């Protein structure tokens, strides 16, 4: 327990040892738990907040409660108890984030996997070798202002684990590349898949269809968005049954009472809870990773419960499976790895913090009813023509790109009353415009990459403390000029499609700087515990194993050295399956040994 000044802290109570302790129980924790329990290891998951389940927490009788879930943040992290400090650059003083804004981390069992949209993507083949690929094609000067880094693995190595996640989720979609053969109607730019999607693509309503037709007429390559909102009933390999999406329009920021959105609760957790070698302990906040006197072996974790009682949980393997920001924070608090220093460029923990560069185009039609209340988290027609290096960047002055989607996720009556530019923000004219266009609007999402620069990083705040007296996590971030140029270019391309769709009003919304943490953009925080080839440029190896503490594994989007133009969940889940496979087939045969030579 964190003691008051001048009062000695109580000695933590030591508990029976387990094979594996998981810190956090969302997507990555559930994947590791399922895989390692099935391999016969004893697994304990520590979750700092409460348990959450579909029939109790977001049943169909109250799931579409916009006040409760969207505006009162019922499923999100409470900044009263857990927050961070923020600044745009090192010349500013970071201040605490007092209200959730730009991103919405989850809390409780299932984490952000509960309230996500269900958008399931794979990286492009070139995304795994981003630095070397771009330097080979455009020269080293193209990457000089960025701290890009290659991943230590290829698309071919991770593809079987992508397929495992698709099968767990029952992902709905249309393959574009099946074992090297291009498939009509799918994404022609994707890497080769070993298997088709488990379920067909979602049907699309009028708005996405307009996008599809306009994009195709311009010589682009539209395809259905890969979705964790299922197009038909599905039973996954663990026997978990999912239902068909009802297009209620309440995916993002909400749970799914219909069992039609893939989440830890609908795909993994009920199965895991039947295992006799698994235990879930909620309302248990991990304070620190404990190590042996030489610092080279994790002995377990210290956590505190809601009564203020502190416990030491010994384990043979420690796995950080919380949200990316919390994993980085715990590594820094535990003194594992060298913290990144932007002045010298030395250190790795906290380095290459990235986000997602979001922009878009708003469309309003006087002559068409789109009925956007019929929606789901991934109901969209998408083009990948301007993502990654799918187009020639010569002379453009930037790297990276974005997918562009004609997407309708719903028309929630408080959040989504949209009016054309120039309409007053309140009053009679606003009401009339809101009524006229409520069923006649949609947006094009420009989902851009986020590339690292030296001044963007995570560290411990020297001033502000959390409720346990520990330094808060400090975020230093602003959009690199590269990403703002990319967003402008891709938003211009989206505007061309919007005009082709025949909208009465077309309003581009390019991303501009500086980065503003107060307005929602996306919950895609990445980097800080990078995966890499060696200990000098990364925190973990290709199996997510710490270079410094070999029985410590770190999962999640913190492993990314940069963020491609895709939602991060599909790749972080695939990496988690890869990590679990390495632990159960290789690491347990030589406990304490590194899986990659340092």
Distances (CA, A) of 574 to 38, 160, 354: 18, 8, 20
Start-to-end C-alpha separation, the chain = 36
Contacts of 72 (CB under 8 A, 6+ apart): none
User: For residues 197 and 172, is the Cβ–Cβ distance under 8 A?
Assistant: yes
Give the DSSP letter string of 102-118: S---B-STTGGGTTS--
Q: Catalytic amino acids? A: 524
Helix (H, G, I), strand (E, B) or coil at 366: coil
348 and 538 Cβ atoms separated by less than 8 Å = yes
Of 287, 589, 230, residue with least CA distance to 466:
287
Contact 486, 452 (CB under 8 A): no
From CA 291, how far away is CA 285, in angstroms rounded? 18
Strands (E), 390-536: 402-407, 441-448, 457-465, 471-476, 505-509
* Residue whose C-alpha is closest to residue 380's, from 483, 484, 494: 494
CB neighbourhood size of 597 (10 A): 6
Rounded CA separation 406/420 (Å)? 18
Query: CA angle at residue 288 from 285 to 293, to 5 degrees?
Result: 150
Measured torsion, CA atoms of residues 584, 586, 588, 589, in degrees rounded to the nearest 10: 140
Picking from 83, 41, 47, 8, the residue whose alpha carbon sits closest to that of residue 471 is: 83
541 CB-near residues (< 8 Å, 6+ apart): 152, 531, 532, 547, 594, 595, 596
Q: Which residues 6+ apart lie within 8 Å of 368 measured at CB?
A: 206, 210, 440, 502
Which residue, among 209, 257, 245, has the nearest Cα to 375 in the 3D structure?
Answer: 245
Contact residues for 410 (Cβ-Cβ < 8 A; gap 6+): 248, 249, 250, 251, 372, 373, 375, 376, 416
Helix H segments across 187-334? Answer: 206-217, 264-267, 269-272, 324-334
């Amino acid at each position: 327990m964190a003691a008051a000044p001048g009062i000695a802290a109580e000695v933590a109570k030591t508990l029976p040892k387990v094979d594996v302790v998981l810190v956090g129980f969302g997507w990555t924790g559930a994947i590791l738990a399922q895989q390692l329990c099935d391999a016969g290891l004893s697994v304990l998951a520590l979750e700092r907040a409460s348990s959450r389940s579909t029939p109790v927490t977001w049943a169909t009788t109250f799931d579409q409660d916009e006040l409760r879930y969207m505006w009162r943040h019922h499923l999100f992290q409470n900044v009263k108890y857990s927050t961070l400090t923020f600044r745009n650059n090192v010349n500013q003083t970071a201040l605490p984030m007092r209200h959730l804004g730009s991103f919405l981390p989850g809390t409780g069992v299932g984490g952000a996997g509960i309230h996500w949209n269900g958008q399931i993507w794979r990286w492009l083949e070139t995304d795994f070798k981003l630095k070397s690929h771009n330097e080979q094609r455009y020269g080293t000067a193209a990457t000089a202002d960025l701290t890009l880094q290659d991943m230590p693995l290829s698309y071919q190595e991770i593809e079987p684990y992508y397929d495992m996640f698709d099968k767990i989720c029952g992902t709905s979609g249309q393959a574009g590349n099946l074992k090297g053969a291009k498939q009509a109607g799918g994404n022609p730019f994707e890497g080769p898949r070993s298997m088709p999607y488990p379920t067909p693509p979602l049907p699309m309503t009028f708005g996405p269809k307009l996008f599809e037709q306009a994009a195709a007429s311009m010589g682009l390559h539209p395809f259905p968005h890969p979705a964790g909102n299922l197009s038909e009933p599905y039973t996954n390999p663990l026997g978990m049954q999912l239902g068909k999406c009802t297009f209620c329009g309440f995916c993002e920021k909400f749970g799914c009472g219909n069992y039609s959105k893939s989440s830890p609760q609908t795909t993994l957790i009920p199965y895991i809870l039947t295992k006799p070698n698994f235990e879930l302990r909620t309302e248990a906040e991990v304070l620190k990773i404990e190590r042996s006197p030489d610092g080279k072996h994790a002995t377990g974790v210290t956590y505190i419960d809601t009564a203020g009682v502190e416990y030491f949980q010994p384990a043979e393997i420690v796995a950080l499976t919380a949200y990316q920001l919390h994993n980085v924070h715990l590594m820094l608090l535990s003194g594992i790895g060298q913290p990144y220093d932007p002045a010298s460029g030395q250190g790795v923990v906290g380095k290459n913090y990235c986000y997602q560069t979001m922009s878009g185009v708003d469309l309003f039609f006087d002559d068409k009813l789109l009925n956007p209340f019929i929606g789901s988290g991934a109901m969209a027609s998408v083009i990948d023509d301007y993502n990654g290096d799918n187009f020639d960047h010569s002379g453009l002055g930037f790297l990276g790109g974005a997918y562009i989607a004609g997407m309708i996720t719903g028309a929630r009556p408080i959040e989504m009353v949209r009016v054309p530019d120039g309409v007053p923000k309140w009053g009679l004219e606003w009401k009339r415009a809101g009524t006229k266009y409520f069923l006649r609007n949609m947006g094009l999402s420009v989902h851009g990459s986020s590339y690292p620069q030296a001044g963007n990083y995570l560290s411990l705040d020297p001033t502000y403390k959390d409720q346990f007296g520990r330094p808060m996590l400090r975020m230093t971030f602003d959009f690199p000029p590269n990403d703002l140029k990319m967003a402008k270019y891709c938003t211009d391309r989206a505007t061309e499609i919007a005009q082709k769709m025949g909208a009465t009003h077309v309003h581009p919304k390019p991303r501009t700087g500086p980065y503003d943490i107060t307005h929602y953009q996306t919950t895609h925080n990445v980097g800080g515990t990078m995966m890499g080839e060696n200990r000098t440029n990364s925190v973990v190896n290709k199996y997510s194993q710490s270079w410094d503490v070999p029985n410590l594994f770190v999962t999640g989007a913190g492993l990314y050295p940069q963020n491609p133009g895709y939602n991060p969940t599909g790749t972080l889940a695939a990496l988690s399956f890869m990590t679990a496979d390495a632990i159960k087939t290789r690491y347990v045969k030589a406990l304490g040994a590194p899986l990659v030579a340092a």
